[in-house]
Structures are given as C-alpha cells and as structure tokens.
Structure 1
Amino acid sequence: MSESIVAPGAPVKRADGANAPASDLETALCFEAGGAQCCVRLPEITRVAFLPALTPLPGAPVWLAGLLQVGPDHLPVIDLAARLGRVRRTPFSVDAPLLICQGRQRRGALILDAVSGLREVSFDPAATLPGADGRNPLFRGLAHDGALTLLMLDLDQVLSLDPAPGRRAVEAFVIAEERHAGHE
C-alpha cells in the first residue's frame, strides 16, 4: 500500500475549502475501480486479499463474478468496476485485490483494480453525486483528503444483488434496455 498523500497532522480540506476539524475525520481505505477513485470506511473492512478461485453463477449479472466461501458462509463477489457501470478493458486477474467488507446489513467481497492505501478523510454526505439526477444509490457521498475527492461507497447498496438499487422496477428495466441498445 502506498502512503497517504496527506502529511501527518496536516489539515484536511473539505470541499468548501475550509479545514475539517480533527473530530470530523475518519480513516478510509482508498482504491480504484474502473478509473473511479473510491473509498470505504475502515470499520467496514474485514480484510484485503488476493482473488481466490470463485464459484461462478450461471445467468448472474455481469458484475457478479461468483461466490467466495469464507468459513461456512458464501459471499457474493462483485466486480466493482462493472457494478459502477464502467467497461473493463482487460479482465481482472488472479492477483487483483479483493476487499472483503461488511455494510450495515450485507457482507461480501469487491474486486478492485488497485489499492492506494489508508487516508484520513472528511466525509461530505450532502455533496452532489455523479448521475443524471445528481444522486447515485451506490454512493453515500464524497470524501476529501485534502488533495483528492473520493466516492464513498454505500456498501449495502453495492453488495445488494438488485441490479439497480434505489430505483423502481420500471426505471431499472428502461435503464437496462437503454444500455443493451447501446451495445448493439
């Protein structure tokens, strides 16, 4: 893992340019998936490992890579780049980082492109997020570390097996049909 780009004790700037008070900072693991700079709060992480053999699921969405057995449990393994709607230019390899994590209600694993390390971040849940309507259910908000703006994942939404979390069924169908039509 690389070191934080913020010097120890240096103030972390919020999106509005003001210094974030130390009490507002939290430690997050920062990583890249499909070109997007993302992060997850440290307490939500179980461990980071390399991608082991997975049990494939026939007929599963493209972003659901398979199941991973961890003790008696079978966890969904999600290709985060594909889950975020990014096109993966090369297939992930067996040495791809795997983030085993736990949301408030769901547990699973995310295939990442790269891990950049731990950083102290200021979380901004009220920030306008990427998406046509200014919000995206896969993200809790934006996080700032003084130099980078990161997308803070909502793990319960990302780990949901719902193909379009936060949308009504008819919206999810229309979006899926539009995406399919664009690939023909």
Structure 2
Amino acid sequence: MALPDSPSDAARRPRLFLLFCLGQDRYALEAAEVAEVLRLSPLKQLPGAPSWVAGVLAHGGALVPVVDLTARVGLGDGQRRTSTRLALVHYPCAGGAARLGLILEQATETLYAHPEDFQPYGMDNQGAPYLGPVLAHAQGLIQRVTVDALLPADVHALLFPDGAATS
C-alpha cells in the first residue's frame, strides 16, 4: 500500500504552464491560475479604461473584464491570429477570486516545469511586477507571468468596483 504524498513531495512535482507569446518573447502562466481557455470573441469596449483593457465579455452569466496582455506590457495591440486565445484566469478580489480575461497570442502549448526552475533575472521590475522569473528552456527563455500582480490598484478598482467575486 502506497503512502500518500507529503506536502513537500507535492511541492517538488513539476507543474503545468500555459505558454504564449508577447511580441517575440515567450511567457508562461501556471495552469492552476487558468479557469478556461476560449477562442477570442467580440468584446464590449470600456471607454475611460486604460488602452490595454480590451473590453468586457459576457460569459457564463457574468461580465468578465479582458486585458490585452501584449498591450499591457507596452508592445501595442496584440495580433488577432487563429492561435490567439482568451484565457479566463482566477484574479484575487475581496470575497474570493473573480474572473479576468487575458488575450494571449500563440497560446497553444503547455509545458511541465518545476516552479523553482524559474530564476530571477537581475532586474528590478517595479514597473511591471507581474513579470516574474525566467526559465531557460531548449526553445529559449520563458518568463513567468503572475496573475495576482496584473492590475494596478486604480485599474483593479475600475474593473472590480465593489470587489465582488464573479467566479
């Protein structure tokens, strides 16, 4: 009879990551942060929101704000290709997690990796705290994106004014 895994054993297991591109570079989201991956759908624009807020999507009886992640990192509007996806992620809000949509280019692959294999790259990223450590991979460097740090406080308040969970 096998003994159950200890918490330290579970922490050492590789985790699944969703890979995507922003410009020419590759990035990863931990799959546990992703609720669903959808084809890109038409969005309702949100006048007054930052240019990188692509709009809002009606999905599953709720309105989900959507961020164009390519624009968020300052690379202009993301390209709409057949490989562009809308990832609905678990975003922390008062009272629980809300859904936040992320437009991701070339989001068609996954990768198993140990989280500790993502290493700091030596730059103070205060202007983009959502850009995390980097993994050296056979296909090039892959940078981890942290969902919790995607929205500055003012945009969080704009998109989730009552802080209510929507998931």
Q: 1:98 aligns with which of 45, 62, 86?
A: 86
Q: Higher strand share goes to which structure?
A: 2
**Equivalent-residue separation in structure 2 for 1:56 and 1:164 (angstroms):** 15
After superposition, the Cα gap between the structure-2 partners of 1:70 and 1:127, relative to the gap in structure 1 and judged at 3 Å, is same
Letter in 2 for 1:110: L
Q: Does the 8 A contact of 1:34 with 1:80 survive in 2?
A: no
User: Which whole-Å CA distance do the structure 2 matches of 1:73 and 1:87 have between them?
Assistant: 28
The equivalent residue for 2:120 is 127
Aligned partner (choices 53, 62, 72) of residue 51 of structure 2:
62
Unaligned runs of 5+ in 1: 1-21, 166-184
Partner of 2:21: 32
Shift in Å at residue 147 of structure 1?
4.5
Q: Which residue of 1 aligns with 2:76?
A: 87
Aligned residues: 140
**Residue 35 of structure 1: CA displacement?**
2.4
Letter of the 1:100 partner, please give it.
Answer: L
TM-score by length of 2: 0.69
Return the letter of the residue paired with 2:99: R
CA contact (8 A) 1:106 1:155 kept: no
The root-mean-square deviation of aligned C-alpha atoms, in Å, is: 2.9
After superposition, the Cα gap between the structure-2 partners of 1:97 and 1:23, relative to the gap in structure 1 and judged at 3 Å, is same
TM-score relative to the length of structure 1 = 0.63
Instruction: State the percentage of identical aligned residues.
Output: 24
CA distance in 1, matches of 2:64, 2:82: 17
Deviation per residue, 1:83-136 (Å, 9 max, x gap): 011134x75368731111114444211111212411112324651365xx3554
